[in-house]
Structure 1
Amino acid sequence: MLFIKFSLSLIIFLIAFLAGIIPLCLTMNHLFFKKSEAFVCGIFLGAAFFHLLPDATHLFQLTQRPYSHTATIFIMSSSLVLFAGFTQIGKTYQLNKRLFPWFIFGILTFHSIITGLALGFVHVTNMLYILFFAIVAHKAFDSFTLLIILKKYQFTFKRIFYLLTFFSLMTPLGILLGAFAFHSLNGIAANMLTAAFSAFAAGSFIYIATAEGPIIPWILHPKTLPISELIFLILGLSCMAILAFWV
């Protein structure tokens, strides 16, 4: 079983890395970037509503504790991020703008470790492969999304390469850690940790999709809504909805 998990870890790393290479190989003109940004926003919204919040609710239920904690953490995380993003002005605001891609990188990286740990804890073969295919699909989208954001903030190719390599390694690292240490945590503690972060990440992802993407400009100026961007937003949302039927 350990050899199988090691092999799956290697496959996940390669797919995540190759998916992240795609945005680097494309010429990002303004039209392409706006469509890609809309697609990414759809992915974030879909990940929050179709995956993170349902998973957090289910895990809270398994702990025999009130699963309304999911909504509480979700609202708190959204409020904190919105407060941090919109109450700063001048140089502080510009600093936050520079830190934004690092915030995204941190959230996606930690989420990658958590999903890797989940696969590492599994010891039923059928469930192992189901979770593997779900993680592969998510990881490919996450890598593509991360690289779009890093290119938007004009990171150098060298820095992008290092960050992509580091990010691609996080899920395999989580898998291996989970495989070796799954006996050290009881089920309730593991479920609580995963549920809490899933709820927090959901709130953060919804903020990212609304405040940093094209959604708010569309609401403020509905007559300027580009149909092509709306299609790409729905496409990203649909991709995550389809994944929800797989797991």
Structure 2
Amino acid sequence: MSYILLILSVLLGAILVFIIKPSTKIVRLLLAFSGSYLLSVTVLHLLPDVYTINSDATIVGVFILIGIILQSVLESFSKGAEHGHIHMHTDGKKFPTLLFVSLCLHAFSEGLPIHYADDNLLWAIIVHKIPIAIVLTTFLLHTNYPKKTIFLFLTFFAFMSPLGILLGDKIPFFTIYTTEITALIIGVFLHISTIILFESTENHKFNLQKFIAILLGVLLTIFTL
């Protein structure tokens, strides 16, 4: 079921672009909510779990920091697509291979800890994927890429998180080092979610709607503890 939900989240984001074309304001609110939800799940669910499983707090902390650094590196190739801002200009003649690979790696890594976490992480990633799919689809439609290329791009991207779940459960390496990998993904989530919250505010002014979206993300996590 988790596989289907993750794929549908990307599909939903793409369909929304074709049907209603969400405004920038709506996308920013969705990003704020998803970033808040992802951050809350990471802090209230993943962090306590990973420190409970592994008594060596230093090792856990090191892998979290590695995750933050790793995401910073991936972001230099993805141009910020993971947090809803693709800072990239293209004429559509050359396929954005680095963008594609880094996004797929990110999506794959998101799926790795899902099998060992509760449903809150699954839903946080699903909610996170919807605005990302909206931004990605919008970007691709503004290029000169053939529709077939765009469809293949989105389809491949949609299947990467389910692939992460599958391999995370079946490959011995991922099962043996579950704690370390989860800690690394926590670092990735912390980086992405905080960047989303910082960048979704225009001119760093207080925005009541954004504040409510963030608060809802936090409350949703607390009420599902």
TM exceeding 0.5:
yes
Among 207, 212, 216, the alignment partner of 1:234 is 212
Change (3 A) 1:106 1:56: farther
Aligned AA (2:38): A
Q: Which residue of 2 aligns with 1:175?
A: 165
The structure with more radius of gyration: 1
**How many corresponding residue pairs?**
202
Change (3 A) 1:178 1:108: closer
Aligned AA (1:34): K
Change (3 A) 1:139 1:200: closer
Q: Which residue of 1 aligns with 2:56?
A: 65
Q: Secondary structure in 1 aligned to 2:87?
A: helix
Q: CA deviation at 1:106?
A: 4.6
Q: Which residue of 2 aligns with 1:142?
A: 128
Aligned AA (1:113): G
Among 24, 38, 61, the alignment partner of 2:29 is 38
CA distance in 1, matches of 2:124, 2:71: 26
CA distance in 2, matches of 1:152, 1:84: 20
Task: Check the 8 A contact 1:143/1:164 in 2, yes or no.
Answer: no
Q: Which residue of 2 aligns with 1:200?
A: 188
CA distance in 1, matches of 2:7, 2:121: 13
Identity level (%): 16
Q: CA deviation at 1:158?
A: 4.3
Task: Check the 8 A contact 1:15/1:136 in 2, yes or no.
Answer: no
Query: How do 1:82-231 and structure 2 match up within 5 A?
Result: 97-98=87-88, 105-106=103-104, 108-118=106-116, 131=118, 133-134=119-120, 136-155=122-141, 156=143, 158-181=148-171, 185-186=175-176, 189-211=177-199, 213=200, 215-219=201-205, 225=207, 230-231=208-209
Among 14, 24, 33, the alignment partner of 1:21 is 14
Higher share in helix: 1
Change (3 A) 1:9 1:144: closer
Q: CA deviation at 1:135?
A: 5.2
Query: Could you tell me the TM-score, scaled by structure 2's length?
Result: 0.66
RMSD over aligned CA atoms reads: 4.0
Q: Which 5+ residue runs of structure 2 have no aligned equivalent?
A: 78-85, 89-95
Q: Which 5+ residue runs of structure 1 have no aligned equivalent?
A: 1-7, 86-95, 120-130
Q: CA deviation at 1:198?
A: 0.9
Q: Map Cα deviations across residues 49-85 of structure 1 (whole Å, 9 max, x no partner).
A: x12234135303421112682797289649957x969
